[in-house]
Amino acid sequence: MKPFTLELPVDYRLDDVLAFHRRDIESVAEEVSADRLRKGVLLDGVPVVLDIALPHGENAICTVHADGTLSAAGKQQAREAALSILGLRIDPAPFSTFVKKDKLFAALARRQTGLRIVQSATIFEALTWAIIGQQINLAFAISLRRAFVLQAGRQHSSGLWCYPDAPSAAQLTLEDLTSHKFSRAKAETVLRLAALVTSGELRLDVAEDNSIEQISANLLAVKGIGPWTVNYGLLRGYGYADCSLHGDVAIRAALQTLLGEEAKPDIKRTEEILARYSPHRTMAAAHLWASLHPRD
């Protein structure tokens, strides 16, 4: 597959993107430097490293190193993955325009111009990461994610590990995960999702006969997957622009600060507040998350 170039917006916040992919300090599936991002992922069953050079933050030069022959579908998946991990799916401008005169978000959006949602390389990665991160702190979630990659992923010839796909994850046993500090419930949910996707019983592709709404409903029917996991998966996996993260503790904490109140709003009130920003609730969440860790 020939290298391809993606043009980056003028206000592109490269440091945000690199920081997102630098979270695992052991760098088993991602390697990040000041002007380069390497990401390992299984695409169409083939170990692939997406090698993205980011000279001067103006363009992203993407090279796909595959340990095997990629099908046409695999090549398309590689392009889609590059767009996702660079945060190029959701244009932040419509939200900025929407809140230009808003009392709650206007000043925040101005301070964080160009903020984007960085996504996972694949939908399966986004959903499993959402399950892994349920009700635990970020550091522990990252350690579980690392264990999952090393258990179910495959190592690329370069040495970088590739994030698992559903068939590789479905081969794991419960003991494979619980022996690496996964709770039994969390391990069962990951394996249940992998099995359903592998069998074709649960389709993750958006199509005329499989809308986002239908995918959401089907995910909610999976034991162990609730509204927060679905919305987070839609955000990180599909780049869906109107996800409501009202159940997210960090979102509620950021809203508390923004509102200047002594307590976090409850889930119901948070949902009502976020509803005012539909169909841009994903970007509202992004700005709230970012407000907890402002730039220097």
What are the pLDDT digits (tens) for 71-85? 999 999 999 999 999
pLDDT number for residue 135 = 87
- Which of 168, 175, 114, 125 has its CA nearest to residue 24? 125
pLDDT tens digits, one per residue of 216-256:
999 999 999 999 999 999 999 999 999 999 999 999 999 99
**Listed residue (117, 147, 144) closest to 130, CA to CA:** 144
Confidence of residue 269 (pLDDT cuts 50, 70, 90): very high
Tens of pLDDT, residue by residue over 116-175, are: 999 999 999 999 999 999 989 999 999 999 999 999 999 999 999 999 999 999 999 999
Which residues, 6+ apart, have CB-to-CB distance to 208 below 8 Å?
none
- Band (pLDDT 50/70/90 cuts) for residue 294 is confident
Pairing of strands 154-155, 30-33: unpaired
Half-sphere exposure of 207 (CA within 13 A, CB side): 5
pLDDT for res 147: 97
Tens digit of pLDDT for each residue in 8-67? 999 999 999 999 999 999 999 999 999 999 999 999 999 999 999 998 778 999 999 999
Note the helical H segments in the chain: 14-21, 72-85, 93-98, 106-111, 123-132, 138-152, 166-170, 174-178, 184-199, 212-220, 227-233, 249-259, 267-275, 281-291
Tokens of 102: 């808003």
Instruction: Find tokens 């997102």 and name the residue.
Output: 20
Q: Name the band, by pLDDT with cuts 50, 70 and 90, for residue 197.
A: very high
User: What pLDDT does residue 296 have?
Assistant: 53
pLDDT recorded at residue 293: 86
- The Cα 142–Cα 63 span in angstroms is 26
